[in-house]
Amino acid sequence: MTFYQSKQWQTLRQNIILKQLQAEGEVRCWFCHKPITDKYDIIAHHVVPIEKDKSLAFAEDNIVLVHHNCHNIIHARFGTYDRHIYIVHGAPFAGKHSFVFDRCLPDDLIVDIDAIYQAICPTRSGRLLNNVMELYRHLIDMVTVQNGKWVNAWIIRLLPYKAERERLAAQTGGELVHIDTDFEECIKRADGKTEIVEDYFRKFQA
């Protein structure tokens, strides 16, 4: 289990968010000073990185709340390579790709099965599924061992099953980000492809 997956960190992060909500009625970004309207867009950032001073890992006065995008800007601005791995999951048509593309940096690595399929087989032939999954697993291995010069890694998956999400997070050390768009909105965006949305929500485990 990584530091960011630990119960102690998750509890502290949630308490900091709740304190700001109770004090100000909203969560406001420390970096850009704008409200953070979506809960999955909240990053708890260490002002003094824990790599520099581990004693400040759980010090509340060293932790501020920022947007995902602002967090990336902070690290790139100071030329640091404090890599982060995000596992962005949720229903079909929930907005996972938009979330990632709005926040990723030019040197970030995006692992997306749909994009792999499109790159090697635009017709999405089922006969090439093994090839697609082999390429996906190779990229996941690269993320896991942090091979390459990428800054952050974004893994985009449906992952309706809790055990599957937790297994991928444990393997990669990634932070789970759930894009929790509701069923009605996903159906509205599906443009007739309602079966895959319905199938996801039948399987989903919170």
User: Per residue in 91-121, pLDDT tens?
Assistant: 999 999 999 998 888 889 999 999 999 999 8
Contact (CB, 8 A) for 152 and 86: yes
Residue spans of the domains in the chain: they are 1-82, 83-206
User: Per residue in 153-162, pLDDT tens?
Assistant: 999 999 999 9
Return the pLDDT at 194: 92
Pairing of strands 175-179, 63-67: unpaired
Task: For domain 83-206, give the fold.
Answer: Rossmann fold (3.40.50)
Torsional sign, CA 141, 136, 108, 39: negative
Half-sphere exposure of 169 (CA within 13 A, CB side): 21
Instruction: Find the mean pLDDT for residues 180-187.
Output: 95
Q: What is the mean pLDDT of the chain?
A: 89
Instruction: Find the mean pLDDT for residues 12-20.
Output: 93
Instruction: Outline where 55-126 has alpha helix (H).
Output: 68-77, 96-103, 113-120
Res. 76 pLDDT band, cuts 50 70 90: low
Structure tokens at 87: 């596992």
Element (H, E) at 88: strand 84-90
Return the pLDDT at 92: 96
Kindly tell me if the per-residue pLDDT of 150 is higher than 70: yes
Percent of the chain residues topping a pLDDT of 90: 61
Instruction: Find the mean pLDDT for residues 49-78.
Output: 84
User: Per residue in 36-51, pLDDT tens?
Assistant: 988 888 999 998 888 7
β-bridge partners, 152: 84
